[in-house]
Structures are given as structure tokens and as C-alpha cells.
Amino acid sequence: MRPLTARLVTAVILSATAALAVPQPATAGASCFDRTAPTTYEESRIETPALPGGTRVPYELVSLGGFTAYPRKLSTALCRAPSIAAAHRILQRQGAALWRTAVARAQGRITMGTIDRYDDRPLYWTRLMGTRDIRQWNPRFPLTQTTREALLRTYEYAARGITSTTFGPGVKKILISGFDPYQLNGEIRRSNPSGASALQLDGLTYSSQGHPIRIQSVVLPVTWSAFNTGIVEDAFGPHLTHDAPERADLIMTISQGNRGLMNIEQWAGAWRGGSPDNNNEGTPELIPPAPHWPQPTPTPEFIETTLPHQSMIDAATTPWPTALNPRTCTWPDADRPTGPITCQTTAPTPTSQAQSGGGGNYLSNESMYRTNRLRLQLGATDIPGGHLHISALIYPTDPLTLIDTPFTQDRTATITQTITLVKAAGATA
């Protein structure tokens, strides 16, 4: 693969005002989009400034992935939509097509672009360009904010794979999730190997001891607000109810963790740390309940994994060591959030208040907590569930280099190991 470079600003600091009105090239007729309308902080990164003469990294990644036509197709279709109902159909169709294409490209079933097929970033930035267009769409007919939010949901759920988790008959069913890239303010080149793994795993079918097993995947956003509205529960819940026509046999959330480690988290904690998300938002608090899904009262402080962790460890995958991580941090004196914090590798006591699970108290911990809180409340104790943290990536030393061979090799190795670990878990489901 040829060397790919882009001129970058290594520390991208976006102001709140920049998030509200960023100059943008129109992707369709000016009469259809109001380019002064507010966008999210996350969407404003699409126009990340580059050094003079350089390229904007998001556009470069979309182009290198072969996805340049997709934002244009979406905006053109929106401008032709005669009604809200038609817009929903367009967004469902366009979002699903984007997801299917990204999966097919990742799995090598089609050839697109010049960047390697394990790269999740073209999908991320293409989808984000789509949500920006929906947010700035100015149709000929009235459009309330509530309706616009519903349109965004239609597109996001389709483009994240949430509406396409059909397994089919006669197979064991494994449902997994990955995440978008994050921490982009300081490193706009970021990929997320968990999201890239989800693309590789979606629809994968294999056999163990004569039993066919199929994996379906979704990619979750790195925003507290999306978790508040129930996107995690909406993705997993339909496969956890006792009468679900396609009830899962195992669920697993996956995210990027520490460098050089593959940790199966033993515990998820009920506390949200509130570190800034992709919208630069965050408030420390107890993980809120999900709307429209049953929730336990009181909410458990910790939830323990039921993944077949020993089978995953015994799979002897490489290159990174795989281990069960028992660490938790608590407010042992029940004085959250002001008291002293204690961390330990023994099981939390019944009176301890959660400060963090083994994987911290960011959205990765929360994805495990939410899926398994719902699983337990629905009585799906026969379905194993938990979280896998996979090795973080190291980016090219030269801040002007977008991607190089050591980076692609490192990411491919981590993703390949993740696939093997998920398959090992599924084989024992």
C-alpha cells in the first residue's frame, strides 16, 4: 500500500462556538440545507483545520475508504424527499446501505478505496457527515425538533447495524458491540479497534462441535446523551426478552482499553465518571435508567461477568495476553461521591458503592453495565454476558503521517486476536 499522509494539527481544540456554526461546503443545493444551523461538537470536527496546503483529515479518510459518494447520495435524496415519511424511508435505506457496504469492505467481499480494509474511520466520518446533513436539512415542509431527532435515530440505528441484527434459523446467536473512535481532540487520526472488530465480525458464521454459530454486530457511539436515550438497550434488548424470536445465546460488549492487554472485565460498576465524550460533555452521576426498558430497583452497584472467561483465556490467542480483570474501585464508607476511594482485586462488599468497574467508569464500563442490567432484569440469566477490553493502538510517530505499515499491522493483529476471542466465547455458549 502506498504511503498515505495528511497535514494535521496534532492538538485540535474546538470551541463551543465553533460547534454551533462551522463553515462547510454544501453537499447539495443551498435551498435544502441551512449551513448556519447548529451541529454537534462531534460533527464540527469534520472541518478540522489542517496545516496550510494540507487536507482535512475526515474528508481524506472518507476518500481513502472509497466512501466519497455516500454523503452526496444522502443529501441529494433528502432534498428530493416529499414528506417526513419519505425521509424516514430514505434514511433507513441509506443508513442500511452504508452499514452493509462498510461490512462488505471490511470483510474483503468488495474492494473500495486504497486504505486497508481493517480501517473503521471511513465509516465513522461518513456516518457523521450524514447526521450533520440531517441536522441542517431545511425541507419545504415544517420540521419540528422532535421529528428531526426521530429522523436522526432512523439513520443512526441503520448506519450502526442496530436494525440489521437478524441471525436466521438453526444457529447459535452471538451479539457483540464495538465503539466509534474517540478522544479526537488531541488525535484526529484515531481509529477504534473495537469498532473495526465489529465490522469484521458482523454476519460471521462458523462451527464448533458440529453446531453453526453466527455473530451479529453493532457499533455504539461515544456519547453520554445517546446512552441516556437507550441506544445500548435498544440494540441488545430485542435479543434478550424471553419470547424474542431471535434470542441471543451470548452477548459481549467490546472496547479499546490499555495497550498490550486483552482484559475480560469481571465487574461493571453503576457509577458514570463523566469524562468528556465525543461531544465534549460529561457529568459524574449514577448510570441513568433506560427509557422504555425494564430496570431493577434499586440498581445494583456492581454486575459480574458471566462470559466463559477461562475458555477465552485457554484459547491462547496472540499477540497480547488475555486475563480476567477483577479490579474495582469503591466508596467503602457509602459516602459517594466525596469520600475516599479504595481500589481492590477482591469482590466488592454488599455495602460498597461503585466508583468504577474493572474497565473504569467511562462508556465502556457503562456498555457492560447497561446490557447486563437489562439482561438480569429480563430474567435472561441463562445468556452469558460481559465486556472485553482490547489493546489500544499506537499511531505513527510523525504527526503528519495518517497511516503507515506498523500501524496497520498492529491494528490487524489486535483485531484478529479479538475475532478469535469472540469465537472462543461463542463456542461455549
How far is residue 136 from each of residues 34, 176, 261, measured CA to CA in Å? Answer: 5, 32, 41
Given a contact cutoff of 8 angstroms between Cβ atoms, the answer to whether 269 and 302 are in contact is: yes
Give the model confidence (pLDDT) of 370-413 as tens digits: 999 999 999 999 999 999 999 999 999 988 788 999 999 999 99
pLDDT (0 to 100) of residue 331: 94
Give the phi and the psi of residue 106 in degrees, each rounded to 5: -60, -35
CA torsion sign for 237, 239, 244, 249 is negative
What gap in Å lies between CA 337 and CA 316, rounded to an integer?
A: 40
pLDDT (0 to 100) of residue 398: 86
Domain residue spans in the chain?
4-159, 172-427
pLDDT (0 to 100) of residue 55: 75
What gap in Å lies between CA 202 and CA 103, rounded to an integer?
A: 7
Given a contact cutoff of 8 angstroms between Cβ atoms, the answer to whether 184 and 395 are in contact is: no
Q: Domain 172-427, CATH 3.90.1720.10 — does that match?
A: no
Residue 46 gets which letter from DSSP? Answer: G
What gap in Å lies between CA 384 and CA 196, rounded to an integer?
A: 23
Give the containing element (helix H, strand E) for 205: strand 205-208
Mean pLDDT by 10 residues, the chain (429 residues): 33 32 40 94 88 77 97 97 98 99 99 98 99 98 97 99 98 99 94 99 97 99 99 99 97 99 99 98 98 93 98 98 98 90 95 96 99 98 99 92 95 99 97
Residue 69, C-alpha cell as written in the block: 459518494
What gap in Å lies between CA 135 and CA 159, rounded to an integer?
A: 16
Cross-strand pairs, 324: 264
Q: Give the CA-trace dihedral at 281, 78, 166, 117, to 10 degrees.
A: -70
pLDDT (0 to 100) of residue 51: 55
Q: Are strands 271-272 and 285-286 parallel, antiparallel or unpaired?
A: antiparallel
Count of alpha carbons within 13 angstroms of residue 247, beta-carbon side: 15
pLDDT (0 to 100) of residue 42: 98
pLDDT (0 to 100) of residue 401: 85
Residue 126, C-alpha cell as written in the block: 461518513
What gap in Å lies between CA 353 and CA 269, rounded to an integer?
A: 9
